[in-house]
Copies of this chain bind each other. A is one copy, B any other.
Amino acid sequence: MKISCSKNDLLYGINIALRAVPGKTTLPILESFLIDATSDIRIIANDNDMGIETVINGKIETPGKITINARILSDIVRKLPDNQVVIETSVNFKVRITCEDSEFVLNGNNPNEFPELPRENTENKITMSQFLLKELIRQTIFSIAATDANAIMRGELFEVSGDQIKIVSLDSHRISIRKEQLANTYEPCKVIVPGKTLNEISRILGGEKDDPVDITFDKKFIKFSFGSTKVISRLIEGEYFNVDQMISSDYETAVKINRNDFLNTIDRAFTLTREGEKKPIIFDIRDGEINIEISSSLGSMNSHLYIHKDGKDLVIGFNPRFFLEALKVIDDEEVDIFFVNSNAPCFIRDKDGGYIYIILPVNINR
């Protein structure tokens, strides 16, 4: 194999593919890139749950393949001058990298030992803008369970029916739901995508409104194709929770509040919380005003904000982090919050059903 490309094109591809290189692995070949220059120049990484393949601009002088340690290649290319880079293999999988007057020789590996990316059957295919996918991930990913016996909680439900997509994530204390209109109509289908895959995709996506992402999937794999990059991931198998039965539109207390003021006040209260202490933030909701209070081993905070309230007065306590994380991803200037009583979940939701954030309260013994 002999290829030449600009340092910047090479580095761009490396940075994308690096997202699928595992930090630690028992299978050292996974710490490599497969550079596949048989037809075009592809940089491929694969951590066995997720694979990334990205095509870079460049010239193939001799077609071929090689695997090479991903982080060492990345370190070296980052430091090269902004000029043409030539990568050439020789006997025993030696890799020669030349740029201007510098020449590196690294030990590569047999490219045939690199595990192939799975090929999904393109049973289902939907298309949306990179911007929308990135937003949908940002607005839900925070409420997947970090580590949990239940693998399903570490993924997000992608459910398509007609021209609507619904994304759901949940842990044992809260649920995030985002719905959005798609440009086309599709057969009903649903899959559970690992949170880790969505996090990595979100980092790679350019996020332009005019650039599309094609999403194809079968029962086991999902593929996101955008620009010159493909991300292929295992799906989480199993039946997702029936969240529709947890949603109710009944309420006893409805509050309309300035999102930014509310967010900043809770953020201030959050400075008094310490990992493991689990002190609730207490909302005392009255006509026209909410009093916000927290008390921990570090001290106490008291604040109040003007609100518009319908219905009963209410005193209710929450984990402040859950409110913070939901309020941070909402773009509206004002939010509507619906409460039933101090033991029932509250609903932060917009009029059009674009988002619903459900948060369980904590017992405050009042």
Contacts and interface: CB of A to CB of B under 8 A. Distances in A.
B271 A72 contact: yes
Contact of A76 (B72, B105, B264, B268): B268
Contacts of A76: 268, 271-272
A79 B77 CA distance: 41
Contacts of A81: 264
A299 interface: yes
Nearest to A79: B268
A104 B294 CA distance: 9
B268 A299 contact: no
Interface string A74-88: 011011110000000
Interface stretch (A176-184, A231-239, A300-308, A309-317): A300-308
Q: How large is the interface on A (under 10, 10 to 19, 20 to 34, 35 or more residues)?
A: 20 to 34
A74 to B, nearest CB: 9
A72 B104 contact: no
Nearest to A102: B303
A298 interface: yes
Interface string A84-106: 00000000000000000111111
Interface of A: 69, 72, 75-76, 78-81, 101-107, 264-265, 267-268, 271-272, 298-305
Given A79-B271, A102-B268, A104-B301, 14 more contacts: A69-B298, A76-B271, A101-B303, A101-B305, A102-B265, A103-B302, A104-B268, A104-B272, A104-B302, A105-B299, A105-B302, A106-B299, A107-B298, A107-B299
Query: Sorted from nearest, which 6 A-B pairs have the closest CB atoms?
Result: A106-B299, A102-B303, A75-B271, A79-B268, A105-B300, A103-B302
